[in-house]
Amino acid sequence: MRPPIQPHNLVLRIAAKMLIPPILMFALYVQFHGETGPGGGFQAGVIFASAFVLYALVFGVGLARAVATERLLRVLASLGMLLYITVGMASLFSGANFLDYDVLAQERMEGQHLGIFLTELSIGITVAAVMMMIFFSFAERGVRP
Amino acid sequence: MLAVIRLRNLFAVVMLFGIYSFLAAALFVTLNAVDVAFTEAAVGAGIATFLMLSTLALTVRREKLRRKRSVIPLLVVTSIGATLVYGTFDMPYFSDPSAPLHSHVARHYIESSTAEVGVPNLVTAVLTSYRGYDTLGELTVIFTAGIGVLALLGYRKRGGKR
């Protein structure tokens, strides 16, 4: 990656500052609105990661790394996988098939909603973390002194 | 697409691929496949283009010219392409109502997903409820890809300390 953009590049910095919060909000909207509208975990994760990518491009990888540390991203990526499998195992231990959400709650519909919500959430977490991980490993490779 | 084959400047090729992805997303929108279009625009045009650009930043920007003509790769590609085209002859005609796509489980999904899953978006219902196991596989693929990239490129700190 190129070195971070110099401080005098004011327009880009302010535009990025204005854009990043809506991008994050939109990612969350896509995440939690995936049941009723287009979208879901995969898209939301990518959009969420793109906000971090924009931040890292404008303000430098180091500052972005202060929030999204290597350890955090690794933990999040694994956590998403773990959550997905846990949902599957939960229905397995409740006496249904693997990833059969009917038994997760008292009502069958509620169980389905809960299962879809949790799996979409885990997809979003893992995709966002992996995308950021890939981006940072590319970016930091470039600025090696 | 012809321009992609002819161009030697890889930067322009990546940009053309991004444009192509956006066009594909627009095509999916006109086909009423909003979820697919969304994914194509976010992943295909956004992240994939960006990742290819960052790969270019690590490598070189221009394709190497090869003087030697290679016959065997051409033969392999042509034969595989011919086989694939031959395979499409067995596919059902476009919008054929008796195609397996319409007569197998799709009808069940469309008719009873509201009663069985209760989610307005049919795509989400199929993706995470009916086909949850497949989606787990997709997630595993992404996770493995991340691990692979980390194994190949990652850990600058640890390498620097050594």
pLDDT tens for residues A14-60?
Answer: 888 899 999 999 999 988 887 777 778 888 999 999 899 888 888 88
Q: What is the pLDDT of residues A74-93, one digit of tens each?
A: 899 999 999 999 988 888 88
Chain A residues whose CB is inside 8 A of the B46 CB are 46, 50
- Of B158 and B94, the structure prediction assigns the larger pLDDT to B94
Write the pLDDT tens digit of every residue in B24-52. 999 988 988 888 888 888 888 888 888 88
- Within 8 A of A35 by CB-CB distance, chain B residues are 119-121, 124
- The 10 Å CB-count burial string (b at 16+, else e) for B74-88 is eeeeeeeeeeeeeee
Alpha helices in B31-131 (DSSP H): 34-39, 49-58, 71-88, 100-103, 106-116, 122-124
For the ranges A82-96, B56-70, B90-104, the one whose mean pLDDT is highest: A82-96
- A116 by Cβ neighbours in 10 Å (0-12 / 13-18 / 19+) ranks as buried
Q: Is A85 in contact with B136 (Cβ distance < 8 A)?
A: yes
CA atoms of B1 and A11, how far apart (whole Å): 35
* Contact status of A109 with chain B (Cβ, < 8 Å): yes
Provide the shortest C-alpha distance from residue B93 to chain A (in Å): 28
Question: Could A40 and B156 be called an inter-chain contact, meaning their C-beta atoms sit closer than 8 Å?
Answer: no
Burial state string for B18-31 with b = 16 or more CB within 10 A and e = fewer than 16? bebbbebbeebbee
CB B63 within 8 A of CB B4: no
- Residue A124, both tokens: 């979003």
Q: Which of B156, B55, B146, B35 is nearest to A80 (CA)?
A: B146
Cα Rg of chain B, angstroms: 21
Using the Cβ of A28 and the Cβ atoms of chain B, whether some distance falls under 8 Å is answered with: no
Distance CA B136, CA A84 (A): 7
Which residues in A lie closer than 8 A to residue B146 (C-beta atoms)? 77, 129-130, 133-134
CB atoms under 10 Å from CB of B41, counted, come to 19
The answer to whether A122 faces chain B, any CB pair under 8 Å, is yes
Structure tokens at A111: 């169980």
Confidence bin at B81 (pLDDT 50/70/90): very high
Q: Does B69 touch chain A (CB under 8 A)?
A: no
Contact list, B40 vs chain A (CB under 8 Å): none
**Structural domain boundaries of chain B?**
1-65
In total, chain A counts a number of residues equal to 145
Chain A residues touching B136 at Cβ < 8 A: 84-85, 88, 99
Kindly give, in sequence order, each residue whose CB lies less than 8 Å from that of residue A101, ignoring residues fewer than 6 positions away: A87, A91, A111, A112, A114, A115, A116, B129, B132
Q: Does A124 touch chain B (CB under 8 A)?
A: no
> What is the torsional sign of CA A102, A107, A109, A110?
negative
Residue A69 phi/psi, 5-degree rounding, is -75, 160
At A47 the three-state DSSP class reads: helix
Give pTM, 2 decimals. Answer: 0.80
